Chains A and B, each alone.
Chain A
Amino acid sequence: MTETKSIINGDNHSKAGKQTILLISMLILLIAVVLAALVIGAIPTNLSDFFSSGTDRALERTVLVEIRTPRVVLAALVGAALSISGAALQGMFRNPLADPGLIGVSSGAAVGALAMIVFGTGLAVADQWLPYLVPVSAVAGASVVTMFLYAFSRRYGNFSVTTMLLAGIAINALATVAIGAFEFVSDDRQLRTLIFWLMGSFGRATWPAVLPTVIVVGTSVVLMLQLARPLDVLQLGEADARFLGVDVPRLKKRIIVLAAAAVGAGVAVSGIITFIGLVVPHLVRLLGGASHRYVLLGSILLGASLAVAADVIARIVIMPAELPVGLVTSAMGAPFFLWLIARRRPA
């Protein structure tokens, strides 16, 4: 019996211990990536510029405080939001291929945001409220798609990988139609915004634009972390989860609302950035296991690092011009996606 005890406790502790070490390493990686991202760029800066007050480095200081810091903060937030939402949606659908971009949640958010950009000027609201209406509309768009997917999955029982990806293709196609229609009716200025949306970029980060994202993403991420245990239980199937005391419909509603809020608030400022929500939770699971407390936390840390790093790449490869960061994440994510499909166990 003592021997058994050491086996089970030894095992549990070593796995939990390994996960803790991984999370600490990911945190250190995130800090390193963020610091690097602050100083690398078309105008090199030092971290000491934060504290400079003279005129000799005024330009560097402005770049660092007004341009680069909000940009890095936005990239980290959007990366964290997409990754934790991807992890939570994968847990909810019990399907490792549920990425907010692939299944159309990001497109829904984009359509919501674009509708507000193109038609929002017609609304009787003061101009300074417009930056807040775009995220609200994006969240609404993301919610509509997620709720549709949820209803669809209930209607057709078991939601297989194939069904989900096909539904995603259909939703993305519908979104393309809507976006095409918006392009047709928009003026020159709006058209530039539209194209930026479709590629994804952190280049529009300013403090006023980033702040609502900080609040919405921060809140949803903290609330999503509370769902780790019920998400684990849900892996046994919905009926068994209910037998174990989980209020399954309520859990699903929470995941849908929180994921839609996080993705919508991110997409509203950065445009569509695909594959982060797919790649990051996978890497996290591959490294240390599937328990959601670890996967959700790890997705936040690694997702933020990956998005910030991708943004640095987007900024420097064709300096002084910039690549859309969505191109960088797709270039990294698409081959990974193919690899995932290839190694999938036959169902």
Chain B
Amino acid sequence: MSLIGENISVVRSGKTIVSDANIEIAPGTTTALIGPNGAGKSTLLKAVAGEFMPDGGAVHIDGEPLRNVSAAALARRRSVMAQSTPVVFDFSVAEILGLGWVQDDIRIRTERDQAIMQVAADCGITHLLSRTFNTLSGGEQQRTQLARCHLQIWRPKDDPDRRYLLLDEPTSALDLSHVVATMQNTQRLARQNTGVLVIVHDLNLAARFADQIVVIHDGHIVTTGGVNDVLDSEMLSDVYQTPIHVEWHDTLQRYVVFS
């Protein structure tokens, strides 16, 4: 019972962007998708998210083909943060956040306010709620969008529902402390039976927060596995075309990546 992409191929204008890729996002784990620019990371994420039908292969969510699940039903257990479009009209941050509430038919209203409060606090945007979204900085907008994605698959504590959270560079506009807070936040969500897929450029983030790392290069999945198995100096140097060195850090008690 996972979100599984099998033999995914995506072709755009005659060029193969993703080729025969296999990926499994299991509830309870964080999967980091890494690779150089143009490797096909975002395309693979979008295909798994169901933004479009892949040209080859299929996506299954908890054993069910994705195309058989309605957009509304899918929205209740899978949320996606892709590169966002600017919002034209002046909505407040609270209103933008509220758009993530898709559970109206199964949850009562009091839980909605409680959920909004909780994700706002988790993502550190409580003090921004009454502001106009358009006047926020890039990082604040990114945290708001992230909070909206969290709200979309929010469940009361100890609810056993399986859910999936797919994030395309959720920390690209954030400062260091917010990067760490965001990753800890998604890690906490993963422990509540959520399968997290996150695209990151910082290999140290992947090393620190991922349970599983998927390396993609030129549309092909190079390797998939645990941090210890995947973070290999030689393979990474080859993929990124620049010398990369992976080393065990005794104080931090984890692998660190130098380039």
Chain A residues with a Cβ under 8 A of chain B: 1, 4-5, 7-9, 11-12, 15, 94-96, 232-233, 235-237, 239-240, 242-247, 285, 289-291
Contact = CB atoms under 8 A, between A and B. Distances in A.
A30 to B, nearest CB: 24
Given A8-B117, A239-B82, A243-B75, A233 B99 contact: yes
Contact of B152 (A5, A242, A244, A291): A244
Contacts of B130: 7, 11
Nearest to A5: B117
Contacts of B199: none
A72 to B, nearest CB: 32
B21 to A, nearest CB: 20
Contacts of B129: 7-8, 11
A243 B113 contact: no
A242 B71 contact: yes
A233 B130 CA distance: 19
| Among A7, A15, A96, A235, residue most surrounded by chain B Cβ atoms (within 10 Å) | A235
Contacts of B74: 245
A11 B78 CA distance: 29
A156 to B, nearest CB: 16
Interface string B48-88: 01010000000000000000001111111011101011011
Which 10 A-B residue pairs are closest in the complex by CB-CB distance? A245-B75, A237-B85, A290-B89, A245-B72, A11-B130, A243-B80, A94-B88, A245-B71, A4-B126, A8-B129
Contact of A96 (B88, B99, B121, B152): B88
13 contacts: A4-B117, A8-B126, A11-B92, A95-B88, A232-B99, A236-B84, A240-B80, A242-B51, A245-B73, A285-B89, A290-B89, A290-B90, A290-B95
Given A240-B82, A243-B80, A8 B99 contact: no
Contacts of B85: 94, 236-237, 239-240
A83 B127 CA distance: 35
Given A1-B117, A94-B88, A285-B89, A8 B95 contact: no
Contacts of B70: 245
Q: Max chain B CB contacts within 10 Å: which of A232, A243, A290? A: A243
Contacts of B152: 244
Given A236-B99, A237-B85, A12 B94 contact: yes
A8 B120 contact: yes
A290 B91 contact: yes
A247 B91 contact: no
Contacts, number: 97
Given A4-B120, A5-B113, A243 B90 contact: no
A95 to B, nearest CB: 7
Q: Which of A9, A96, A239, A244 has the most CB of B within 10 A?
A: A244
Q: Which of A1, A9, A236, A291 has the most CB of B within 10 A?
A: A236
B5 interface: no
A53 B87 CA distance: 58
B120 A236 contact: no
Given A7-B129, A232-B91, A244-B152, 4 more contacts: A7-B130, A11-B130, A243-B82, A245-B75
Contacts of B92: 11, 15, 289
B100 interface: yes
Interface in B96-113: 96, 98-100, 102, 113
A328 B89 CA distance: 28
Contacts of B96: 236
B116 interface: yes
Most B C-beta atoms less than 10 A away, residue of A240, A242, A285:
A240
Interface in B29-61: 46, 49, 51
A48 to B, nearest CB: 45
A91 to B, nearest CB: 8
A236 to B, nearest CB: 6
Contacts of B87: 235-236
A294 to B, nearest CB: 10
A290 B87 CA distance: 11
A12 B129 CA distance: 9
A316 B142 CA distance: 55
B94 A8 contact: yes
A285 B90 contact: yes
A237 B121 CA distance: 25
A291 B113 contact: no
Which residue, of B46, B51, B70, B78, has the highest number of chain A Cβ atoms within 10 A?
Answer: B51
Contacts of B89: 94, 96, 235, 285, 290
A303 B52 CA distance: 40
B25 to A, nearest CB: 15
A245 B117 contact: no
B91 A244 contact: no
A329 B236 CA distance: 66
Contact of B75 (A1, A239, A244, A285): A244
Contact of B84 (A9, A240, A289, A290): A240
Contacts of A239: 46, 51, 82, 85
